[in-house]
Amino acid sequence: MSGTLSPIDKAKFVAAKRAVDYVEDGMKVGLGTGSTAAWMVKCLGERIRDDGLRITGVATSTRTAELAQKVGVPVVSLDEAKWLDLTIDGADEYDHNLNLIKGGGGALLMEKIVATASDELIVIADLSKQVEALGAFPLPVEVIPFGWQTTKALVEETLVNLDVLGRTSALRMNGATPYVTDEGNFILDLHLKRIGNPRQLALVMNQIPGVVENGLFIDICDVVVIGHGDGSVEVRDINNGAVEHEKIDVPETDNLFVDIAD
């Protein structure tokens, strides 16, 4: 495998590989959405196949559910699972306090619901997602389709009084039509450049009529596993302040991962 993976894909793989070590037999596990989370689902499928791991997964999107079923990870609804032992997911940005921007893949609502219904959230990412201040990545805000242009105007008006550098927003598109989430909503991507007070912004955004949820994950993440292109990982635990460094074995070939896609 290592001969076919780019450094960035190797970083995603080793982060995912290390994160699934947190999963124990009998756990109920939230399954994130995105390219890095896809590696994690594949790694879980490998453990189920080779080690006899028994878990129940709750997917944060239809595409994650389809991938999980494909690789042999059992999936149930959150209502069936009720509460989860842990969730493993990616992030578009994370800061030194492990506050996150998520939702680049369009699943922020389900991701936040699943993450907050878990005892622990483990984020897997590469070093490029680490920032001093959140906001370089556009902040996704999920809105209902009814009156979305009015909601957009209200969002931009609200941003005038908040500690951000940019105040423009754009409706996320899928070709010539609006992108539609699994819940049937639209997404506004806010181009803020820098968010001075993420906690305040998250609270204010969710008070605007028409806004369903925003992509700021504040005080939710417990651990971040950072993958590097050389096959090493750094594990940061926000609860105990621990930082660990490890080297992950990357096999030359592994048929389980040949069809991975972003």
| DSSP secondary structure string for all residues of the chain | -TTT--HHHHHHHHHHHHHGGG--TT-EEEE--SHHHHHHHHHHHHHHHHH----EEEESSHHHHHHHHHHT--B--HHHH-SBSEEEE--SEE-TT--EE--TTS-HHHHHHHHHTBS-EEEEEEGGGB-SSTTSSPEEEEE-STTHHHHHHHHHHHHTTSSBS--EEEE-EETTEE---TTS-EEEEEE-S-BS-HHHHHHHHTTSTTEEEESEE-S---EEEEE-TTSEEEEEETTT--EEEEE----S--GGGTT---
pLDDT at 222: 98
Q: pLDDT by residue (tens digit) across 121-152?
A: 999 999 999 999 999 999 999 999 999 999 99
**Does residue 168 have a known ligand-binding role?**
no
Stated length of the chain: 262
Check if the beta carbon of residue 196 is closer than 8 Å to that of residue 238: no
Quote the pTM value: 0.94
pLDDT band at 262, cuts 50/70/90?
very low
pLDDT in tens, 164-219: 999 999 999 999 999 999 999 999 999 999 999 999 999 999 999 999 999 999 99
Q: Confirm whether 24 is a catalytic residue.
A: no
Known binder of ligand: residue 104? yes
Say whether 105 counts as a known binding-site residue: yes
Residues 6+ apart with CB under 8 A from 44: 20, 23, 29, 31, 53, 55, 57, 68, 71, 73
Place of tokens 């989430």: 181
Mean pLDDT value across residues 220-240: 97
What is the domain class of 7-130+219-257 according to CATH?
alpha beta
CATH number for 139-214: choose from 1.10.10.60, 3.40.50.720, 3.40.50.1860, 3.30.70.260: 3.30.70.260
- Under the banding of pLDDT at 50, 70 and 90, the label for residue 42 is very high
Assess whether pLDDT exceeds 60 at residue 25.
yes
Query: Cα–Cα distance between 208 and 20 in angstroms, integer?
Result: 37
**Residue 257: predicted pLDDT:** 54
Above 50 in pLDDT, residue 163?
yes
The model's pLDDT over 57-72, given as tens digits with 9 standing for 90+, comes to 999 999 999 999 999 9
As a dihedral over the C-alpha atoms of residue 171, residue 177, residue 178, residue 183, rounded to 10 degrees, the angle is -170
Neighbour count for residue 127 (Cβ, 10 Å): 13
91 annotated among ligand-binding-site residues: yes
Beta bridge partners, 213, equal 142
Q: Domains of the chain: which residue ranges?
A: 7-130+219-257, 139-214
Catalytic residue among 93, 111, 142, 213: 111
pLDDT for 3: 52
pLDDT at 250: 86
CB distance 78 to 117 below 8 Å: yes
- Residue 34 labeled ligand binder: yes
pLDDT value of residue 5: 85
Q: In angstroms, rounded to a whole number, what is the distance separating the alpha carbons of residues 229 and 171?
A: 34
Q: Which residues are CB-contacts of 177 (< 8 A; sequence separation ≥ 6)? A: none
Give the largest CA-CA distance in the chain: 54
- Asked if 29 contacts 44 with a C-beta cutoff of 8 angstroms, the reply is yes
Question: Side chain identity at 125, as an amino acid letter?
Answer: A
